[in-house]
Structure 1
């Protein structure tokens, strides 16, 4: 895209958002653009809650309160800041009221921090928004209005649209943006200067290499990334409270896992449109796209497969040769994929019907890889029940169009009301 600054010249927003770091420079349901993600896991590969040592210290909202007014900077109130790689530090004089997102993990973070109504864009709003509300249905007072949002997947990310939306913050990685069609580092820098800062980290998703010029790029796990986004909204109290729920959930699961030799083999797949092959994903590699499977320690039936990124494509013959105990159908709980059709395809296929997971009725609906903190809690619970029903309770059979199932209170792995209270500012 040509650099056309003169066409868009206007006062910058440095009275409102002060950009401190500087920009240093549809395969959605298969891999969703370039598969890059990162999570700094623990030594055993789990995606644990990080030690709370942020590089920027914003002013937090007191616990149990809700911000209802835009803060105005005064000599006594110098605002706050947030820091993320590769952007650097961004200084804020007030909380963003209009937020541009692409991947739904950032949208879910905004909802978790009480600012879902500020979001003006998200990839595939109907699919992602409906799926998010499948989970939010179980959280009193939490929902997400996705209708009417701009869709950067179908409509693209033209620079002119970002001027038109006039967002207060772009929760997007400028390194990733610079690799998109008709974008360059100069274009990303222009938007940061003339519209609003970028604030995102894409290549932590799968630990792929960022573009040239980003030698100091840092990788974060999902909850470290959420910590940094919470600084943007000056809501680190909510991050801390939700991070504790996550820590407790991981401990609940990992303290009751069977020995490795007794764990099932599993694959995470989505079936190709022709019904003759599968897009397949690793379970335990680094990256926040795997924040809901890695902590569960199942045996990855395709661990020996080396793909360019976290996903590849296999046919029925290789699936039969591997013959996993459990098939996790990614996107199965979303409107974009049909579990009924998936099961019919497997049952009707001469090789598919011989798979152990099919014969034993262990083909399960999964959620989305682009998960934020709320989604992560539900998807981790979901997967724990699908992999280890003897330990964590049976996963209810899921049919197309249903919400996340009702789980009996004594079989829930985290407290829904506690999560809702945190999101609603009642923690």
Structure 2
């Protein structure tokens, strides 16, 4: 069930159990010894939907779909990716919380420009494209075809990715989603950094235990509404129901109650619908969380977003506004470092936590290879 392709630029053979059936891929799962070096210097890594991918050597330059995968690479001690889908949504300011870890986006290519040009991949000439190819062919089929994917893999380097941040894509129903750490482990195999990955797993296990200790009993957990807000159009919001994608990881683990779960409000992913202040007041969540605001500091968020709500006759009646419980709602994309930072922030916001739930210095040590 393999098909072989010759890479004209690197003169190696890559095998894949899935690319020929791009729309309904269900590649085998693999890991452990299967992801290690083989008899020569080459090695293979297996992940849905791309199947089994052979690497002639460890990639040095790479392209990432979004901040989830970019953050995984940084956690694994790699240089930043040459390009990501939207650099503005790769929030590198989170690294300010970690000693001796920083990432500059200067020169990082934006892959999306009202669509995508396949030629961009040729210009970047990465050693691996950490992108779910189905994301490109299903969401941007007018720009990127399956034959474009095959050409890029033949001429440049393979695709290796799974769209993990949201479970709202109908085209993803034919192959498994991965959890954050499942995906992280696969990328660790690609970069041959499984020891760093295992250090993060250990740190994450301790972190989750600490998080569980601060979560209140079921009857005391707050009801939260997560929405996308735009500063210039306050009063019209895209609602998000808390789901299984990695972008909701911190809210699942803090065990908040979803204000929209038992209402007629439908997730933005499925309807592209909006809600207004009147609908929000009927639900009246205890906590309001706005996505799309991560580039702002807490002070900027208050001055530019919360202040508008306090000045609106309907919005000021909301319990969350009256109690000063309107916050930035976290990123769409989070990797292992980002998740630690934004979960810590969320715990402080929702549960008044004043203890550090993870050790930033240990994160730094792992990233910098001091373990």
1:54 counterpart = 2:31: yes
Partner of 1:124: 86
Partner of 2:368: 424
1:176-255 alignment runs, 5 A limit: 176-179=135-138, 180=140, 181-202=142-163, 205-210=166-171, 215=174, 217-255=175-213
SS in 2 for 1:413: coil
Partner of 1:66: none
Deviation at 1:280, TM superposition (A): 1.9
Asked whether the 8 Å contact 2:238–2:268 carries over to 1, the reply is no
Distance 1:230 1:312 in 2: 38
Partner of 1:5: none
- Tell me how many residue pairs correspond in the alignment: 351
Deviation at 1:365, TM superposition (A): 2.2
Partner of 1:11: 8
Deviation at 1:85, TM superposition (A): 0.6
Which among 294, 304, 307 is matched to residue 344 of structure 1?
307
1:309-320 alignment runs, 5 A limit: 309=269, 312-320=273-281
Deviation at 1:22, TM superposition (A): 4.7
Asked whether the 8 Å contact 2:226–2:290 carries over to 1, the reply is yes
Partner of 1:398: none
Partner of 2:64: 101
Distance 2:314 2:249 in 1: 31
Which among 77, 82, 87 is matched to residue 50 of structure 2?
87
Asked whether the 8 Å contact 1:325–1:356 carries over to 2, the reply is yes
Which among 376, 382, 388 is matched to residue 339 of structure 2?
376
Output one character per residue of 1:342-375: Cα deviation in whole Å (capped at 9) or x when no partner: 1111011101111111111111123311111110
Distance 2:97 2:251 in 1: 22
Asked whether the 8 Å contact 2:8–2:154 carries over to 1, the reply is no
Distance 1:244 1:53 in 2: 21
1:330 counterpart = 2:330: no
Distance 2:85 2:72 in 1: 15
Structure 2 unaligned segments of length 5 or more: list them: 1-5, 23-28
Asked whether the 8 Å contact 1:101–1:172 carries over to 2, the reply is yes
1:267-282 alignment runs, 5 A limit: 267-272=225-230, 273-282=232-241
RCO greater where, 1 or 2, for CA within 8 Å and sep 6 or more?
Answer: 1
Asked whether the 8 Å contact 2:65–2:132 carries over to 1, the reply is no
Distance 1:257 1:146 in 2: 35
Distance 2:338 2:165 in 1: 18
TM superposition score normalised by structure 2: 0.87
Report the aligned-residue RMSD: 2.5
Distance 2:261 2:8 in 1: 53
Deviation at 1:176, TM superposition (A): 1.2
Asked whether the 8 Å contact 1:56–1:83 carries over to 2, the reply is no
Structure 1 unaligned segments of length 5 or more: list them: 1-8, 26-51, 61-72, 394-410
TM superposition score normalised by structure 1: 0.76
Deviation at 1:226, TM superposition (A): 0.9
Partner of 2:126: 167
Distance 2:144 2:179 in 1: 27
Greater share of residues in helix: 2
Distance 2:297 2:50 in 1: 33
